[in-house]
Amino acid sequence: MAVTVETVARASVQQDSSGERRPAPFMLVVFGATGDLTRRKLVPALHSLDRKGLLPGRFVLVGVGRRPMGDPAFRSGLQEGLRQFAGSDSEPWSRLVDQTCYFQGDYDDPASFRELASLLARLDTEHGTGGNRLYYLATPPEAYAVITDQLGSAGLGGDWAQGWSRIVVEKPFGRDVESARLLNQRMHQVFREEQIFRIDHYLGKETVQNILVFRLANGIFEPLWNRQYVDHVQISIAERIGLEGRGLYYEESGALRDMVQNHLLQLLCLVAMEPPASFDADAVRDEKVKLLHAIRPFDARSVLTNVVRGQYASGRMDGQAVPGYRSESGVAAESQTETFVAMKLLIDNWRWAGVPFYVRTGKRLPRRVSEVAVAFRPAPHSAFRRTEAGRLAPNELVLRIQPDEGIGLQFATKVPGPAIRIQDVFMDFSYGAFGNEQSEAYERLLLDAAMGDSTLFTRRDEVEAAWDLVTPVLHGWGRVDTTDGVAGGAVGNRGVPLHAYEAGSWGPDAAGELLARDGRAWRKP
């Protein structure tokens, strides 16, 4: 009998007597296992899944890295990461210690991958993991294609008849639309699309997943979710931190590649997409791709008028002086890399025609916050215009993603007393009300990848559609005259200006002007 994708999907999941779903036995092979991502995110997520009983009993973690290291040193480093980043002692990790090992090899060396194949086959026999392998690329992006090629050459791409194999790829997936397409082509020479899990950790956050539930499960809001009732939408991802030693990476990336192409556009898709026919992977992702294609493309003129880029200068945060971006380690003295982006996006479809979506992200901003704010149109006629109430503020729905996950609704109410005085109040829901421990994003995403559920991962056409949108912006910025320094708050009189903003502020003045031209203003969370 032929082995189908559906058969493998069923084999990826087990169900216990209580009905709890968990992955079938599998092996997690992490490339870049000695790096920061593994210690900060992946291992704490595995530890939490194991503590909750969501990992299978037959499980193996194999770390792959270039650094010479034995199993004891690798395990010790993982336990230290748990204590540092998960607030845990080493005892709960003890069950997995004997199921964790390290392999040292070079990513561009075929012999290393032949040795790795032998090791995985031996571990599979010893631990009974059924030939099921989940490869995780926690490496610099330039290693993705090389590792994928080597996996294929070593026969590690997987055969459905022997178990399943999948590969998880971190962002950024490419640097522009052309490089993303080339990377997709390279990966598809070894893995089928249903085996490739392009991860965006924002999609693992509970509040992000709740956007669709909130929209589609509540009859009082779905009828209002369109151009007739919504005035505009603001999506903000603000970071207080600077580079934290990642200057070399950030110089190559910048805010547009690091945040806009993935996190911000993913949030926009969930807020604006049409309701899917069902909540399965392809139905959800089909609607996200349709939405990305409906966003009005950028041209040379709209890059100038609808996009603002900035770079933080020195300033003070919490009373402490902080350096400007160009003074950070690993940053060029005349760097043109943006640390702030604000954009006005228009969606050309029936639901959202004429409704602007304003998105922004930046480093060294006053608060760490991620949120979606939906501003509704004012009532068509105000019966209170001649009273003391004055001008009424529009109703606003705020979906808080971090740090205080929840939902708030701003509406007007009468202040007690004989006069008609109206005041805005805020009805608030916090996820803390559930009282149970919330899962970290990587927990959910690792679990889904192990069970073959790709709903919260990005598909090939989705990634390329997002790059199609932002690549013209990158091209427009490439025309900036890089010989000029930051002077008068902007760089380059013949290209797109790079606006300086003080660390600890909400970004350059030009970002405020982007909304002011439309008679609107940014929220200050």
How confident is the model over 114-171, as pLDDT tens digits? 999 999 999 999 999 999 999 999 999 999 999 999 999 999 986 655 789 999 999 8
Is residue 86 within 8 Å of residue 47, measured between CB atoms? Answer: yes
Helix residue ranges, H only, 12-153:
36-37, 43-51, 71-85, 94-97, 110-127, 144-153
- The whole-chain average pLDDT of the chain stands at 87
- Confidence (pLDDT) at 493: 33
Amino acid at 402: Q
Confidence of residue 494 (pLDDT cuts 50, 70, 90): very low
Angle between helices 441-451 and 43-51 (to 10 degrees): 80
- Confidence (pLDDT) at 98: 80
- Confidence (pLDDT) at 180: 95
* CA–CA dist 22, 448 (Å, integer): 9
Per residue, the 3-state secondary structure of 93-114, as one string, reads HHHHHCCEEEEECCCCCHHHHH
Q: Which of the two residues, 24 and 490, has the higher pLDDT score?
A: 24
- Confidence (pLDDT) at 3: 41
Tens digit of pLDDT for each residue in 164-222?
999 999 988 999 999 999 999 999 999 999 999 999 988 888 888 889 888 988 989 98
Catalytic residue among 47, 201, 232, 263: 263
293 as an active site residue: the answer is: no
Cα dist. 357→227, 278, 362 in Å?
Answer: 12, 26, 17
Overall residue count recorded for the chain in this entry: 525
Decide if pLDDT at 73 tops 60.
Answer: yes
Report, as an integer, the average pLDDT of 463-472.
Answer: 96
3-class DSSP assignment, residue 496: coil
- Confidence (pLDDT) at 6: 43
3-class DSSP assignment, residue 519: coil
* CA–CA dist 324, 340 (Å, integer): 13
- Confidence (pLDDT) at 451: 95
- Confidence (pLDDT) at 391: 62
DSSP state of 401: E
- Confidence (pLDDT) at 158: 65
Nearest to 156 by CA among 121, 198, 193, 108: 121
Tens digit of pLDDT for each residue in 274-310?
999 988 889 999 999 999 999 999 999 999 999 999 9
Is residue 122 within 8 Å of residue 131, measured between CB atoms? Answer: no
* CA–CA dist 107, 154 (Å, integer): 12
* β-bridge mates for residue 26, sequence order: 59
3-class DSSP assignment, residue 347: strand
- Confidence (pLDDT) at 166: 96
Percent with pLDDT over 70 in the chain: 88
CB neighbour list of residue 345: distance below 8 Å, 6 or more residues apart: 268, 295, 296, 306, 356, 357, 358, 359
* CA–CA dist 88, 389 (Å, integer): 54
- Confidence (pLDDT) at 510: 97
Percent with pLDDT over 90 in the chain: 65
Is residue 214 within 8 Å of residue 407, measured between CB atoms? Answer: yes
Decide if pLDDT at 489 tops 50.
Answer: no
- Confidence (pLDDT) at 15: 58
Tens digit of pLDDT for each residue in 405-414?
889 988 777 7
The residue behind tokens 């929840």 is 406
Is residue 512 within 8 Å of residue 339, measured between CB atoms? Answer: no
3-class DSSP assignment, residue 196: strand
Helix (H) or strand (E) holding 400: strand 396-402
- Confidence (pLDDT) at 386: 59
Domains of the chain: 5-170 (3.40.50.720), 203-440+457-516 (3.30.360.10)
* β-bridge mates for residue 361, sequence order: 237, 341
Global pTM value: 0.89
CB neighbour list of residue 153: distance below 8 Å, 6 or more residues apart: 110, 113
Residue 447 burial by Cβ neighbours in a 10 Å radius (0-12, 13-18, 19+):
buried
Lowest-pLDDT choice from 203-212, 381-390, 407-416, 459-468: 381-390
- Confidence (pLDDT) at 385: 61
DSSP state of 324: -
Strands 133-137, 369-376: pairing is: unpaired
Report, as an integer, the average pLDDT of 381-385.
Answer: 62
Lowest-pLDDT choice from 390-399, 455-464, 503-512: 390-399
Q: Which of the two residues, 249 and 391, has the higher pLDDT score?
A: 249
